[in-house]
Amino acid sequence: MEQIHTKALALLKENELVERAKKHDHAAFEELVKRNQAKIYNLGLKLLGNKEDAADLLQETFINAYYALPKFEGKSAFSTWLYRIATNNAFMKMRKKKIPLVRFESEKNDSEQPTGSFNIPDWSNDPRAHLKNEELRMLIERSIDALPGKYRTIFVLHDIEGFSTEEISKMLNLSVPAVKSRVHRSRVFLRDRLSQYFRTGFKQGVNL
């Protein structure tokens, strides 16, 4: 395959880079890594909660992707395929660390639920709120970390990374109703924790 300058590689579309990488163009694969490494690292940080595990996840994901690349058929975006590899690796890490994947004991099977929306009071005009922005951000991060593994993954992919329920269902081999159910349950969990903050947080502070 004809080798082209690194600057020229940066102008190629993702699918063009994938085709070059499949033909052992290492520079093309490096460009794919460059474009996606921050996203995969940040995903690992959100799912696993520490920089060391996120860095390990990043390395493992791209090693797996390199060896599995000949099997990539292009039915989804390369970045979506990477997310699938990364989330599977994250699940394995969670299992090894015995991070619970299920916490809602009453749940037997995932079924479709209306995703609804957050019913959080409007606090934007409260002058005290501006002093609490950092506290609120930390609370949200802690609340996401407290989600059971399978709900945290769905929430991060859907509400933070912006993947559709259909994309996530393909990524994780789940039905669309199961994805919608987990989005709904994760939002309920977070809504309840945040509602407690808005009820009492400005008056006395909360430690959730």
- Per residue in 152-208, pLDDT (tens digit) is 889 989 988 888 999 899 888 889 999 999 999 988 888 887 777 666 654 444 454
In this structure, which amino acid lies at residue 94?
M
Count the neighbouring beta carbons within 10 Å of the beta carbon of residue 166: 10
CATH for 87? 1.10.1740.10
Q: How many domains does the chain have?
A: 2
Rounded to whole angstroms, the Cα distance separating 193 from 191 reads: 6
Cα–Cα distance between 57 and 54 in angstroms, integer? Answer: 5
Q: Structural domain of residue 23, as residue ranges?
A: 6-96
Neighbours of 88 (CB within 10 A): 15
**Do 11 and 90 belong to one domain?**
yes
| Residue range 35-71, pLDDT digits in tens | 999 999 999 988 888 899 999 999 999 999 999 999 9
**21, 35 contact by CB (below 8 A):** no
Where do we find the tokens 């994938």? 18
| % the chain with pLDDT above 70 | 74
Verify that 15 and 88 share a domain, yes or no.
yes
pTM: 0.69
Q: Which domain CATH number covers 144? A: 1.10.10.10
If you count DSSP H runs as helices and E runs as strands, how many of each does the chain have, helices first?
A: 9, 0
